Structure 1
Amino acid sequence: MSDFDNAEVAFRLREEIARRRLSRARLAERAKLSVSTLEKAIAGRRPFTLATIVRLEEALGASLREEAEVEAAGPSLAPPEMGSYARPAVQWIEGDYLTLRASFGEDGAVYAYRTEIRWSNAKGHLVFAESDRSDATFQQAGFVSMPNLSGHTYLMTSEAGQYRMIMLGRATREQRMFGLLATLQVGQGSQLVPVSCPVALVPMAQIEDPQFGLVRESDARMAEYRSILDTATRDDYCRLRK
Structure 2
Amino acid sequence: MPTPDKQLSAEQSRQVAETIREEIARRRISRQTLAEQAKLSLSTLEKVLGGRRPFTLATTVRLEQALGVSLRKMPAVAPVAASVNGAIAPDSLGSYSRRAVARIEGTYITVRPSFGDKDAIYAYRTEIAWDEVTASLGFREGERQDADYTQYGEVAVPNESGFVYLVTNRHGQHRLITVCRPRNSGEMYGIITTLLAGRASLLTPIAAPIALLPVKNVPNPSLGRVSPDDANYKLYCEHLRRTVDESFAILLPG
Tell me the TM-score normalized by structure 2. 0.71
Question: How many angstroms apart in 2 are the aligned matches of 1:208 and 1:12?
Answer: 34
Q: Which residue of 2 aligns with 1:240?
A: 251
Q: What is the deviation of 1:238? A: 0.2
Instruction: Find the residue that maps to 1:209 and give its secondary structure.
Output: coil
Question: How many angstroms apart in 1 are the aligned matches of 2:105 and 2:15?
Answer: 15
Q: Which residue of 1 aligns with 2:189?
A: 178
**Residue 227 of structure 1 pairs with residue 216 of structure 2:** no
For the Cα contact (< 8 Å) 1:15–1:141, is it kept in 2? no
For the Cα contact (< 8 Å) 2:14–2:51, is it kept in 1? no
Q: 1:85 to 1:20 in 2, by over 3 A?
A: farther
Q: What is the deviation of 1:101? A: 0.4
Question: How many angstroms apart in 2 are the aligned matches of 1:76 and 1:121?
Answer: 8
Q: 1:32 to 1:203 in 2, by over 3 A?
A: closer
Q: Deviations over 1:173-231 (max 9, x none)?
A: 00100000000011343111000000000111111121110001122211111112211
For the Cα contact (< 8 Å) 2:88–2:95, is it kept in 1? yes
**Residue 166 of structure 1 pairs with residue 169 of structure 2:** no
Question: How many angstroms apart in 2 are the aligned matches of 1:203 and 1:123?
Answer: 24
Where do residues 40-59 of structure 1 align in structure 2 (5 Å cutoff)?
55-56=53-54
**Residue 21 of structure 1 pairs with residue 32 of structure 2:** no
Question: How many angstroms apart in 2 are the aligned matches of 1:81 and 1:118?
Answer: 18
Structure 1: runs of 5 or more not aligned: 1-9, 35-54, 64-69
Q: What is the deviation of 1:33? A: 6.6
Q: Which residue of 2 aligns with 1:41?
A: none
Question: How many angstroms apart in 2 are the aligned matches of 1:14 and 1:200?
Answer: 28
Q: What is the deviation of 1:21? A: 2.9
Instruction: Find the residue that maps to 1:21 and give its secondary structure.
Output: helix
Question: How many angstroms apart in 2 are the aligned matches of 1:33 and 1:123?
Answer: 25
Q: What is the deviation of 1:58? A: 5.3
For the Cα contact (< 8 Å) 2:141–2:151, is it kept in 1? yes
For the Cα contact (< 8 Å) 1:19–1:140, is it kept in 2? no
Amino acid at match of 1:21: R
For the Cα contact (< 8 Å) 1:146–1:154, is it kept in 2? yes
Tell me the TM-score normalized by structure 1. 0.74
Question: How many angstroms apart in 1 are the aligned matches of 2:103 and 2:45?
Answer: 32
Q: Which residue of 2 aligns with 1:141?
A: 152
Q: Which residue of 2 aligns with 1:30?
A: 48
Q: What is the deviation of 1:90? A: 0.7
For the Cα contact (< 8 Å) 2:144–2:223, is it kept in 1? yes
Q: What is the deviation of 1:76? A: 2.1
Choose from 120, 124, 132 the match for 1:109.
Answer: 120
Q: Which residue of 2 aligns with 1:196?
A: 207
Question: How many angstroms apart in 2 are the aligned matches of 1:220 and 1:57?
Answer: 41
Structure 2: runs of 5 or more not aligned: 1-9, 25-43, 61-70, 73-78
Q: What is the deviation of 1:148? A: 0.3
Instruction: Find the residue that maps to 2:123 and give its secondary structure.
Output: strand
Higher relative contact order (CA 8 A, sep 6+): 1
Q: 1:12 to 1:145 in 2, by over 3 A?
A: farther
